Structure 1
């Protein structure tokens, strides 16, 4: 049974809830019961041995916990002889027995149901005489690991949560990361680390997601590494604000045998759950376009008191969008490079705003300045629109690293992957497009090869496209053009120096003049004898960092305003990454003669049709 069919089957439980629960409340019942049934099935085979061991160690006066984990073969266990199927045998006492069963789980598993507020839902179901019916429904679902593996179970959780988000009218910022986007990010994260991917090598690495959600990014990173090197071990860390998502993520980690204490609940920005820790790899898809007013006091305090010793040293973005705070949080978690060893690489999904919002001196510009001047950005990849479930806006994957290969030092690669998509057979919310495996592989090769490339399309004289567009990289020969045909070259990958994105904002002043047209001079203090600026004529110019300010001023300003000068005290350095501008290809409009001839032909055709109607 595939994950969509399985989630549809679980969704049928909603038919029982209709009337007693609002649509937006279905998830409060279905999600914890799905987790409970999964844990139930995982522990079924080892249950007899665990119960025997529990009795023996309890009678011997020993702490049974480590022995029970070993017998269960997982990081969790249950010491009750009950399971969901046995609960159905005593319909009159199902509520009390269900409580006893959940309480018999080990503490980390029990915490999952506390986060779901399971007790409240059990009471509510019992009052509505639905508890037995719902329990029966879930007891008949086969979620044994040999039938539904961990990867499929993750997809089931994601599908269910997406449905609940849709019917609850969640905001565009509350979205889930499509699996293909995570695969692309994971590919880009590991591609330069041959020592980790080499099969047969025993390596242990850490990975962290500060916005863990249901754990999808961590799970796919783990799967990717095991595919390439079964002997590699990835220890996962995360933090999640939403209790339900946290509970599902923790359930996933429990089932996989990961240390569950590594997944922390709480707001990453105001209470760092992994303070002082550094990680080898990091992934994040923070909520973008969501304000951070709730944590503003704590964030500003850290910025002002700790500066660069804290997480938010470079600057603070505007309160209306906190996504760049997560970027800085990840920067603070990068492991240092010592004698060429160590270091970190991370990927983060952001919307277009962090690329260019804010002028020189603003918080956003200062954050961009910090990452570019410290040579931390390896690449930015523009994704297709309509890729996420609850928002259709343009999104970008940033790859940052403090262990850049020699060829990448001082440079930033931009990849426009907005045309790499295929239409989905069925839309899922706002998600209408998906990236195929070939698309992901192409972008990965462009990044791994660190090459400039363009998509070349050939037309014949009749305007018909000849074959598929070809991806041409440095040194490749361009395809031949038919006689009378034409060729279009669309850049896909471009490489720039970091300073190409910097500029100096200069303030251009012009003198204040009296009624006679004479320049006004200052009469007091430091301004005495100096030309006074006219605020109405004040202007600013952005001068590229790689150009001399005075040379630019003399060339671009003085010919038009000979009396102007630069107020050097107001000069500021800024950075912006105008992504789309670097991939724009100008197409000259058709000639007026061609348009005129076409209009004449259309007019003649219309007159002919009118004449035929009049006959």
Structure 2
């Protein structure tokens, strides 16, 4: 056997596809290759202690003791296999390969068997056996050089990533659901760690990281890599939950291979069955599904909201049933380590609707109100469109924390990262753009420096864009080239929390009868007072930063002297009109120029018509 680098290793494992061609659809290759890769890696990891484990198993059986704890100890891992087989031994009996392979899988400890159950590996054994391929495929994997002394856990993670990506490209229709582009994860990880770099590089640091929509475990892996690169002595505990069985199996296998405690990776719907109740974490990352309805779990979620209120996860309010992404945001809020114990910072990717959907008093507005009035929102970063495999829509990374540095208290930083991208050589599904290292570094620096900034776009005399420069507050923009110009657009803005809030006031007008006389109330507290006219009732949104009476006197009374406010109907709302803060007004050209152009075009048309009629 040979030592391969990661690319060659992925290619070697992928070459199994040549055996499957014809009997399997391309998009199903992964269903064979991924579980077999996991099986071979675990096979190699357990090889050195195989004999010791079998001897221990025989001894404990004879003593009538439960063998599991002794077998874990003997294997030197958190898992073991008690069957007499390994992949090499299976090769010795071609006729009984299916039977023996099943016996081998059954010999694993429960957390490993669980991985193969969720891969539905049994089904693949049947399918390969029927096609007469089972022996050939197993033989190929039995030769794969996946011993830990040849391939480190980190490399193994990268090999896995590469296989998943290839597999995702082939079955493009669902790839995006279980796969967040690597550069989006890297940006998010940079943002949640950048302010803590000093604390994280101390020796003996222990940190917990959680992802409630873990997919194949990409976010957890990248976060762990970041921390261990920065501080090899750091110890990182990863937790997560995932709904898709195959993604769950991949995530769990990836964690097992890296030596993580796979008991922290749970299977199931995070919204209806939280498998980490009462736990809190130092850091969290999530890319929940965009705009997916939550009708299936509505009963459970509503019950938790109504019965437990703020003691449960969904205290602030419930979004409309057509989009559950804010439920994940609230779920994360409930998992934040309390500030008194060191606090928490998390990043979540959301589409545009959580920024502004829902008026004052709606579930969405109440959730925004909760996070802004509690001063939890640190920053929101707009990503380029066409960044995800299954959708081209605009997306935003929200960074929330309960331990804001002094300078950030009471403020939110908005960063428009939508212009930082390169076109991909070959698009993958809806993904046509990617962020390079320099783009990620620019956005991370703007966030880390907590500064306002503009983007200066430099145009030459012909009107062609020749470059861009980030101009932070207090710096001078670049000088325009000869005959060219420089256009400035906001890039980073820092705003007080209350600038996103408003009061919706209800403006009443006097009810008059047919003769135009004021109708007065007849009984109760309205007796003798003018009655309101429902047909003339109107609402106005008054920014929280303004005095309602002053606003009313200025904007309403001049047009309707008989109007008044019904204070009982006043509601407070919050919205984050992201694009409004980055809109740059370009004045139209002077009329004289437009007229001159029109005259010239008209003259040309008349000349042409004259030519035709001649």
In the superposition, the TM-score normalised over structure 1's length comes to 0.91
Separation (CA, whole Å) in 2 of partners of 1:255 and 1:450: 39
Is 1:322 the equivalent of 2:324? yes
Q: Which moved more, 1:524-533 or 1:556-565?
A: 524-533
Deviation at 1:607, TM superposition (A): 8.1
Residue deviations 1:330-360 (CA, integer Å, cap 9, x gap): 111111122xx51111111111111000000
Contact 1:175–1:391 under 8 Å retained in 2 = no
Match of 2:400 in 1: 400
Separation (CA, whole Å) in 2 of partners of 1:275 and 1:513: 59
2:195 aligns to what SS in structure 1? coil
Match of 1:209 in 2: 211
Q: Which moved more, 1:512-521 or 1:44-53?
A: 44-53
**For 1:330-479, what aligned pairs fall within 5 Å after superposition?**
330-338=332-340, 341-465=341-465, 467-479=466-478
Consecutive unaligned residues of structure 2, counting only runs of 5 or more, are none
C-alpha spacing 1:401/1:606, structure 2 compared with 1 (3 Å): same
Separation (CA, whole Å) in 2 of partners of 1:383 and 1:144: 40
Match of 1:571 in 2: 570
1:193 aligns to what SS in structure 2? helix
Residue deviations 1:472-508 (CA, integer Å, cap 9, x gap): 1111122224565432111110000000000000111
Contact 1:299–1:312 under 8 Å retained in 2 = yes
Contact 1:2–1:152 under 8 Å retained in 2 = no
**For 1:230-245, what aligned pairs fall within 5 Å after superposition?**
230-245=232-247
**For 1:306-321, what aligned pairs fall within 5 Å after superposition?**
306-321=308-323
Contact 2:369–2:574 under 8 Å retained in 1 = yes
Contact 1:175–1:389 under 8 Å retained in 2 = no
1:254 aligns to what SS in structure 2? helix
1:558 aligns to what SS in structure 2? coil
Residue 93 of structure 1, aligned match among 88, 92, 96: 96
C-alpha spacing 1:521/1:204, structure 2 compared with 1 (3 Å): same
Contact 1:50–1:79 under 8 Å retained in 2 = yes
Separation (CA, whole Å) in 1 of partners of 2:37 and 2:605: 66
Contact 1:206–1:234 under 8 Å retained in 2 = yes
Contact 1:196–1:232 under 8 Å retained in 2 = no
Separation (CA, whole Å) in 1 of partners of 2:392 and 2:464: 31
Separation (CA, whole Å) in 1 of partners of 2:91 and 2:603: 82
Consecutive unaligned residues of structure 1, counting only runs of 5 or more, are none
Contact 1:175–1:390 under 8 Å retained in 2 = no
Q: Which moved more, 1:190-199 or 1:385-394?
A: 190-199
Separation (CA, whole Å) in 2 of partners of 1:80 and 1:502: 64
Deviation at 1:377, TM superposition (A): 0.5
Deviation at 1:29, TM superposition (A): 3.6
Is 1:107 the equivalent of 2:106? no
Q: Which moved more, 1:269-278 or 1:49-58?
A: 49-58
Match of 1:170 in 2: 174
Match of 1:153 in 2: 159
Match of 2:36 in 1: 33
Q: Which moved more, 1:203-212 or 1:21-30?
A: 21-30
Contact 2:168–2:175 under 8 Å retained in 1 = no
Separation (CA, whole Å) in 2 of partners of 1:74 and 1:427: 41
Q: How many residues were matched structurally?
A: 608
**For 1:52-67, what aligned pairs fall within 5 Å after superposition?**
54=57, 65-66=68-69
**For 1:270-281, what aligned pairs fall within 5 Å after superposition?**
270-281=272-283
C-alpha spacing 1:456/1:516, structure 2 compared with 1 (3 Å): same
Contact 1:250–1:263 under 8 Å retained in 2 = yes
Match of 2:307 in 1: 305
Contact 1:503–1:544 under 8 Å retained in 2 = yes
Residue deviations 1:517-559 (CA, integer Å, cap 9, x gap): 2222222333332322222222111100010011101101111
Q: Which moved more, 1:134-143 or 1:487-496?
A: 134-143
Separation (CA, whole Å) in 2 of partners of 1:517 and 1:5: 88
Separation (CA, whole Å) in 2 of partners of 1:327 and 1:98: 43
Deviation at 1:595, TM superposition (A): 3.2
Residue deviations 1:401-455 (CA, integer Å, cap 9, x gap): 0000000000000000000111111111111111111111111110010000011
C-alpha spacing 1:612/1:300, structure 2 compared with 1 (3 Å): same
Deviation at 1:49, TM superposition (A): 5.2
Separation (CA, whole Å) in 1 of partners of 2:460 and 2:387: 33
Separation (CA, whole Å) in 2 of partners of 1:609 and 1:152: 66
Is 1:521 the equivalent of 2:520? yes
Deviation at 1:16, TM superposition (A): 5.3
Deviation at 1:20, TM superposition (A): 5.6
Is 1:258 the equivalent of 2:252? no
Contact 2:178–2:216 under 8 Å retained in 1 = no
C-alpha spacing 1:294/1:161, structure 2 compared with 1 (3 Å): farther
Q: Which moved more, 1:59-68 or 1:113-122?
A: 59-68
In the superposition, the TM-score normalised over structure 2's length comes to 0.91
Separation (CA, whole Å) in 1 of partners of 2:72 and 2:198: 33
Deviation at 1:266, TM superposition (A): 1.3
Separation (CA, whole Å) in 1 of partners of 2:61 and 2:21: 45
**For 1:3-152, what aligned pairs fall within 5 Å after superposition?**
13=16, 26-48=29-51, 50-51=53-54, 54=57, 65-66=68-69, 68-69=71-72, 72-145=75-148, 146-147=150-151, 149-152=155-158
Separation (CA, whole Å) in 1 of partners of 2:306 and 2:156: 44
Separation (CA, whole Å) in 1 of partners of 2:314 and 2:240: 19
Separation (CA, whole Å) in 2 of partners of 1:264 and 1:59: 35
Deviation at 1:116, TM superposition (A): 2.0
Q: Which moved more, 1:18-27 or 1:120-129?
A: 18-27
**For 1:450-599, what aligned pairs fall within 5 Å after superposition?**
450-465=450-465, 467-482=466-481, 485-599=484-598
Separation (CA, whole Å) in 1 of partners of 2:522 and 2:422: 70
Deviation at 1:254, TM superposition (A): 0.8
Separation (CA, whole Å) in 2 of partners of 1:203 and 1:372: 31
Separation (CA, whole Å) in 2 of partners of 1:591 and 1:498: 39
1:468 aligns to what SS in structure 2? strand
Separation (CA, whole Å) in 1 of partners of 2:60 and 2:277: 37
Contact 2:411–2:497 under 8 Å retained in 1 = yes
C-alpha spacing 1:4/1:579, structure 2 compared with 1 (3 Å): farther
